[in-house]
């Protein structure tokens, strides 16, 4: 079995991410939003990473790189973090097509759950999958996520509006850990 770890994304990850996005652009068009050409370049990824790290510094996102045997092979991100009475975030992830089918996605999701619970102290994680993305749905189920609804025409990708399944997972953060709501 190959190793998988997640760590906070770093500016030096830009070239590897640009290469993976470029290589997988057509294969993942069905699942990903349309992006400007700059997104697929190392400079474009440097800008994306800088924005993610700025959001991380504000406590709004935990942007992770998925690494196997020292190489960046994808990303896992906990975004849209809400504090106060919500204590939740949104889970997103992708793995390069060259590394699919080896368990990396499932291990990355499991590691992201640990970050959400132990480091971010969240009570809830949410995720979305397109209706047809059975592989991602199986990974979420394996990690204790439950589906809680379908949003019709929720996501635009590859020239069409796509239906998505909404998923949730409760974590073990307690009410005492939540602080007060200033909003």
What secondary structure, in 3-state letters, does 67-84 show?
EECCEEEEEEEEEEEECC
In the three-class reduction of DSSP (H, G, I as helix; E, B as strand; rest coil), residue 65 is classed as strand
Q: Report domain extents, the chain.
A: 5-177
> What are phi and psi for residue 142, nearest 5 degrees?
-55, -30
d(CA 75, CA 22): 15
Helix (H) or strand (E) holding 88: strand 88-95
- pLDDT mean values, one per 10 residues, the chain (183 residues): 90 95 84 84 95 97 96 97 96 93 94 96 96 95 97 91 96 56 42
How many helices (H) and strands (E) are present in the chain, helices listed first?
Answer: 4, 7
d(CA 110, CA 97): 19
d(CA 107, CA 100): 12
d(CA 146, CA 126): 9
What CATH class is the domain 5-177? alpha beta
What are residue 160's DSSP bridge partners? 157
In the three-class reduction of DSSP (H, G, I as helix; E, B as strand; rest coil), residue 23 is classed as helix
Residue 54: the pLDDT is 98
**Helix axis angle, 104-114 relative to 134-142, nearest 10°?**
40
What secondary structure, in 3-state letters, does 129-183 show?
EECCCHHHHHHHHHCCCEEEEEEEEEEEECCEEEEEEEEEEECCCCHHHCCCCCC
């Amino acid at each position: 079995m190959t190793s998988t770890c997640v760590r906070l994304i770093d500016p030096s990850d830009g070239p590897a991410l640009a290469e993976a996005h470029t290589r997988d652009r057509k294969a993942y068009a069905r699942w990903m939003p349309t992006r400007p050409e700059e997104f697929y370049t190392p400079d474009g990824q440097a800008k994306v990473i800088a924005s993610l790290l700025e959001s991380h510094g504000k406590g709004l996102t935990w942007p992770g790189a998925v690494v196997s045997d020292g190489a960046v092979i994808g990303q896992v991100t906990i975004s849209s973090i809400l504090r106060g009475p919500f204590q939740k975030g949104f889970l997103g992830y992708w793995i390069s097509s060259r590394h699919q089918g080896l368990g990396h996605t499932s291990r990355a999701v499991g590691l992201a759950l640990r970050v959400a619970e132990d480091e971010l102290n969240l009570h809830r994680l949410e995720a979305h999958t397109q209706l047809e993305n059975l592989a991602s749905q199986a990974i979420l189920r394996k990690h204790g996520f439950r589906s809680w609804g379908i949003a019709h025409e929720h996501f635009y990708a590859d020239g069409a509006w796509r239906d998505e399944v909404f998923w949730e997972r409760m974590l073990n953060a307690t009410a005492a850990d939540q602080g007060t709501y200033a909003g």
